[in-house]
Amino acid sequence: MTEVPEEPCQCPDCLRFYKEHDRFIRECPTLRQQQELNWASLQAFRTLCGRVLEDLQKQHGTKSNKKVSELTSNAGSDHQVDLINQAISDLENINAHLFSIEALMERVFEVKLPDEIESKFKEFAGELAPDPLNLDRIRLNRLLHQTPDLPDRS
């Protein structure tokens, strides 16, 4: 094995994750901005899931009533009914969990830091996630792309 254990995984999913991770640090480099970003992201998640769940429940009924099979019996097979019931139950679980996460997050969002500490956040953000177009980053990317066992993504 010629694997280098310290090298982070370079599969497309991980690469996309690193990129997003760095972008969030770069674009929201203070505690305040991280709080806003995560709050907005959580609310967007809840709004969208909630809306789809509401629509599914309206069309197919909730788990607890029997409208599901009645309403869909002429439109689809038992298999489709199962899929829809599973989706409704998954979305209900997601919503319940997001609701708990929101309660926990409120604690995190109550914190306010003085400007001196917020500047420290910005300082580290620059180190952790430098501008992808800056020279050092471009040089590092070239080095990575020249590694023989990595696909050339240029």
DSSP, residue by residue, 38-88 = HHHHHHHHHHHHHHHHHHHHHHH--TTSTHHHHHHHTTS-HHHHHHHHHHH
Give the residue from 60, 50, 67, 66 showing the smallest Cα distance to 84.
60
Are 38 and 105 contacting, i.e. CB atoms less than 8 angstroms apart? yes
Q: For 142, left (φ over 0), alpha (ψ -120 to 50), or beta? A: alpha
Cβ count near 82 (within 10 Å): 12
Which residue's CB is nearer to Zn ion, number 10 or number 59? 10
**Of 16 and 122, which CB lies nearer to Zn ion in the complex structure?**
16
Residue 113 or residue 150: which is nearer to Zn ion going by CB? 150
Instruction: Name the token pair of 69.
Output: 């099979």
Applying CB under 5 A, the residues found at the interface with Zn ion are 9, 11, 14
Minimum CB–partner distance for residue 81 and Zn ion (Å): 37
**Shortest spacing between CB 16 and Zn ion, in angstroms:** 9
Residue located via tokens 């500490």: 117
**Residue 11 Cβ, how far from Zn ion at the closest point, in Å?**
3
Nearer CB in complex with Zn ion: 13/136: 13
Tell me how far, at minimum, the Cβ of 15 lies from Zn ion, in Å. Answer: 8
Residue 22 CB, nearest distance to Zn ion (Å)? 16
Measured from the CB atom, the residue of 16 and 67 that comes closer to Zn ion is: 16
